[in-house]
Structure 1
Amino acid sequence: MKEIWNQWDDEINQLFYCNYGNLPYLFDIKVDKYLFRALAQYWNPTYSCFTFEKVDLVPTVKEYTTLPRCPKIQIDKVYSRAANIPTFLKKLMNITRMSKQWVVARIKQKGDSKYIPWRNLKDLILTYPDAKKRVDVFVLRIYGLVIFPKALGHIDEAVSDLFDRLDKRVTPVPTILVETFRSLNICQRAGEGRFIRCAQLLLAWFYNHF
């Protein structure tokens, strides 16, 4: 991703910043599994906070709202799953502007979940003539593989739904925090469990405090 970002000119970069904030700074945050194992030992799942001796710390909505650095996010418009949402197929068609046949051929299913491999979207970012669409697909990739990773190398249906609502200037922060707390709970119970959700954002928050 960083390689693609570095290939873009200032005009596309500014288009990205204007619509989605400064998410690319997350590319430079290295995820240290040993640090996460250490952090998990201080996570209190009962009170959903880190307890360092007598000091309790927890990521807040206000703090996390500053991390994406997106001026269009409105904190009073919280993301929630809509009652009537387009199908995964239609959402991908809207985002990519590709044909139904193209999208259908690339959707995969595992159990009840649907995915599209990242490699199928990468070429669109590099070659699509519409700069706004290249940016949209790139942001979908960031949310699917950096902020909400679930299936390695794939973008899942839940992420496409959240991305579809970003255009309405909703804030994904509460959803990000819920997934962060859930992953910390799993990691804490497992002892050496793997932290898989929103890792770079949690580290950005952690570095701001320490």
Structure 2
Amino acid sequence: MEELIIPTTEKNAVVRDWSLKTQKEKGDSLVEGCIANLPEYVTVNVRQNNLEDLVRIWNQWDLDTRGIFAERYGDIANLITINVDERLIQAMIRFWDLAYQCFTFNQEDMTPTIEEYAALLRVNNVQPYKIYVKEPKQLTFKKKLVRLTDMTDAWAEKQIKKKNETICIPWSSL
């Protein structure tokens, strides 16, 4: 096993060096000061989530409800039946460049496009020019206070007072 690791590490180093050299010569889209690195060694812990609740909900739905879901979201529901192949993930992660968020194979940088993901999942209503982002959760006053003061939730709960309709904290608490 050790014999297989050393040549792979050497190949990773060659690919990394080639990638960095090419990006310096031809330019790249990284923010100045950011360094792209292909890892020399990779440790991956893969965990299969417990999807029993999702499977139970899916099985409770009739064909019409499943059809409506599939019409809107494509075949994404089929992902709940797929087992994660830990060896495949470990093999692929060696080639993942965190800075560029793409796979680097030999002298090619590759990443699946939205269209390719849509084709794999058979999702028809993907809008390629739409930006898909996760909405940030609004922090409550208490959470902001905990972050600013580096105190506990319990401490913040004791300090917060309500004055008319406004939530506030006395200056003496700060």
TM-score (normalizing by structure 1): 0.34
Could you say which structure has the greater relative contact order, defined with CA pairs below 8 angstroms and 6 or more residues apart?
1
Looking at CA atoms only, which structure, 1 or 2, has the larger radius of gyration? 2
TM-score (normalizing by structure 2): 0.40
